[in-house]
């Protein structure tokens, strides 16, 4: 279980680093608002555990980032608004970041970059020179390379979030997503992700697709 106190401190460090020399209000209320959002009852995969995992993966990949603390703030906001039956979660999360970070004293350029990164998680398709985007997207998709038991827990949690979708429709939709992912030239864009996660992720995706088709 992710420790909210540890996460609160991690948010404060990232926010203060992103503010630089700009003074701003106490980070705690902003962290608490986000922590509350990440613990909403409709979440089964997009939880504090996912947030903590993405932050840990950003730490692993930070040497590839241009501005790792901006990426960390984007990780905090990337699923801050999450309703499984809505399609505009990323856009609403990006707008939340724009409002909250401006109020919290983050300079305009960095606030805009956080929002851009959040919107990028719609496609997970960063450009070749978008190093911060590559780090965030790889960190978010790293679950695809989880060991078998953890990957099974991930897929079960995703299904639970979409409990309102009939089985046949869910299998068809999920299968289409898996085929799209497998059709990408690369799932991971950082050298670390490509080296350590790519092969395992493709194995997991193929195995899940086969299971859904039987």
- Burial of 124-161, coded b for 16+ CB within 10 Å and e otherwise, reads bebeeebbbbbbbbbbbbbbbbbeeeebeebbebbbeb
Nearest one of 65, 62, 72, 71 to 10, comparing CA atoms: 72
The span from the CA of 42 to the CA of 206, in Å, is 28
Chain centroid, CA 162 distance in Å: 18
Sole residue written with tokens 């697709």:
209
- Return d(Cα 37, Cα 123) in angstroms, integer: 23
pLDDT digits (tens, 9 = 90+) for 138-193: 999 999 999 999 999 999 999 999 999 999 999 999 999 999 999 999 999 999 99
- Residue ranges of domains in the chain, CATH in brackets: 4-142 (1.10.3210.10), 144-212 (no CATH)
Q: What is the pLDDT of residue 1?
A: 60
Tens of pLDDT along 26-41? 999 999 999 999 999 9
pTM: 0.96
User: Among positive and negative, which fits the CA dihedral 154, 192, 8, 74?
Assistant: negative
User: What pLDDT sits at residue 190?
Assistant: 98
- How much is the pLDDT for 199? 98
Residue 30 CA: distances (Å) to CA of 15, 19, 156 = 10, 14, 31
- The span from the CA of 154 to the CA of 201, in Å, is 13
Q: Is 165 left (phi over 0), alpha (psi -120 to 50) or beta?
A: beta
């Amino acid at each position: 279980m992710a420790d909210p106190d540890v996460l609160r401190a991690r948010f404060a460090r990232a926010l203060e680093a992103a503010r630089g020399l700009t003074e701003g209000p106490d980070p705690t209320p902003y962290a608490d608002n986000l922590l509350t959002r990440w613990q909403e009852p409709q979440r089964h995969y997009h939880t504090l555990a996912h947030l903590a995992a993405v932050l840990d993966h950003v730490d692993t990949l930070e040497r590839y980032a241009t501005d790792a603390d901006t990426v960390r703030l984007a990780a905090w906001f990337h699923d801050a608004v999450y309703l499984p039956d809505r399609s505009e979660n990323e856009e609403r999360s990006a707008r939340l970041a724009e409002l909250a970070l401006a109020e919290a004293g983050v300079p305009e350029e960095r606030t805009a970059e956080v929002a851009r990164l959040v919107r990028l998680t719609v496609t997970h398709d960063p450009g070749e020179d978008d190093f911060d985007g590559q780090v965030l997207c790889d960190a978010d998709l790293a679950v695809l390379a989880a060991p078998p038991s953890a990957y099974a827990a991930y897929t079960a949690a995703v299904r639970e979030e979409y409990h309102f979708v009939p089985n046949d429709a869910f299998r068809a939709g999920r299968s289409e997503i898996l085929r799209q992912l497998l059709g990408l030239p690369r799932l991971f864009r950082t050298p670390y992700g490509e080296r350590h996660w790519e092969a395992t992720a493709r194995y997991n995706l193929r195995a899940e697709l086969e299971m859904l088709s039987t």
